[in-house]
Structure 1
Amino acid sequence: MKLLVTGGAGFIGSAVVRHIIGNTGDSVVNLDKLTYAGNLESLAKESGSDRYAFEQVDICNRAELERVFEEHQPDAVMHLAAESHVDRSIDGPAAFIETNIVGTYTLLEVARQYWNGLAGERKEAFRFHHISTDEVYGDLEGPEDLFTEQTSYAPSSPYSASKASSDHLVRAWYRTYGLPVLVTNCSNNYGPYHFPEKLIPLMILNALDGKSLPVYGKGDQVRDWLYVDDHARALYKVVTEGVIGETYNIGGHNEKQNIEVVHTICDLLTELAPADRNYRELITHVADRPGHDLRYAIDASKIQRELGWAPDETFESGIRKTVQWYLDNLDWCRRVQDGSYQRERLGVA
């Protein structure tokens, strides 16, 4: 197959590209606008493959999308391109509306036009896989509750509302036009190549620099943590074996309070990068985020039952791998932190 992966230079998208190039015989067209979160250095090895192609395109640009579909003739779309940071969506929601809603609409229309022009087995085999988040469900009340594929949507932030909107568009294009779609909603991802503004890499890098470790409120918000390589395997499983029109929730079966995650990182750093400080003493509790959801947890039994996927990593094994990766790849981190990864791409000194 040839897979068009939107947002393939982002955190999850690059993991998907690495999985496909490294573990299958399929080809990838990586389509990415290269905003601040897009980093081609995450695909340094894969970019040399004759099964890899890159297109710097905004998913809101219909003419360019049409060119990409025409030139590359993909067999499936894996749509990961999105603005995804909740804090940024609170400070500036417009970009989230534009990319996550208008961009998804534009991509759907170009994909539908392309699909309608296919014939025979190629048309029958085409798939549009939309990758979304568990944040569209809002938060859970009881300690035993889980998000299922039937959970009602109740988004809390501009980010989650924009992703909920894109989910609805994808399902509408299936119901109205017959576009063969699949939808997945995942829990919080973590792992290598994660942009340093997100919780886990931020805590690792701040701790190494002796900076404060800011934790919202009491840090009692619960998230279900999913190692990004496990997620990439699941996404490939869905696009190749999933049932058209179905939704699959993908979770790591690893519920942790944010403060537990930060404590674990501090303790691992004490072991792996001992310093003249107690890393836990750097923890600082700050005012909570507006509309902060308290608990997310995924019921991933459907994808396990129907497609045979389950995560390989426990939180304990995955977080150890993650902390070690950041320790081993501080040059990558510093280039993201100081912006040189973007300046070099733009030819700016």
Structure 2
Amino acid sequence: MPYHIKHITLIAVVGIMLCLVMAACSDSNAEDAISMDDVRVAFTLAVADVRTTRAANEGWDDYDHPLPGIEKENMINPDDLYIAICDNGGNIIGNVETIKVVPTSDPSGNKYAITGVWKNAKDNIAKAKKIMIVANCNVSKHSTISLSDLTYNLDTGTREYIPMWGVASLPALTLGTQTDMTEPIYLLRAMAKVRVGMRSDMPSYGYSIGSMHINNYNTKGYCLPNNYKLADRTQDIRFNNSLHVFDSREASIDLVEERATYITEYDNTSSGATPATITINLNRNGKHEGTYTLYFRNYDTAGEPTGTPYDIQRNHFYTFMVYKEGGKLIVNLHVRRWNKREYDEEIIM
């Protein structure tokens, strides 16, 4: 009897590492047997402890500051998982079909075996240089839309899965034999995460946040980053050339104190751009104390905004912490890449 899985939960934050292997072989089980012109894809999704790095840089090949993920941020819908084989230029030359997701017998209960078949691979197998995964993006192998044009609606409050994308280099494949792939795939979320809260001692002074909202945001976003075709690995994507904004600006979206809000990418820096800001209404002892504006900019040691705005970018976490001191509102802003999790063991299928 086939297993039914509502979703796959991955306890990960910046990147979800998928250890993959490619296999093409005959099988005595008629149901599992594949043609010698096909290639079977098999990989395992697993949860393991986090390992963090210290250096911050300009791309997703390194990460700073571990932050716990929540279930919503890490789910993959097994019915919305697209796997493609690509040539060196990032062009799709084959689709992985008949994808199956089955929970393994691992006692931890957090591993899933995923298999699929690249059919009629013989003519293009020499061109196969990359494997690409698009998750939670409602993409079909029969779609005529270019992946670079693939979009999603923000659907605030109703979206169950965050769109994700990743790519990795392939080793040379050989029909009829198993090829082990040791290069992992990191998945980048196509959304940014924003959270605003007060310093922990502020309620003791009677302060509370009455209401908040983001001024200017996009209602739609692109599933894949810009220049995705140029990357051999997800980690090759640079921040300064990956912003892929779908111009669909609306006036405002509500925020709730200490609750994460997920938004699409937004251009704050181009000539003529209308920068996004956050309006916060502060109360004291139940009465309105003042209205303040928070910026997507650097803040100095005095809590004042400095420098030019910066873009709201996918797979980044923007955390504002505010407090009153000396009669003025002080703001601390931390911008982090959602951190990655790595697997303790090498997985070979």
Interval of TM-score (by shorter of Structure 1 and Structure 2)? under 0.3
**Greater gyration radius:** 2
> Which structure has the highest strand share of the two?
2
TM-score (norm 1): 0.27
TM-score (norm 2): 0.27
> Which structure has the highest helix share of the two?
1
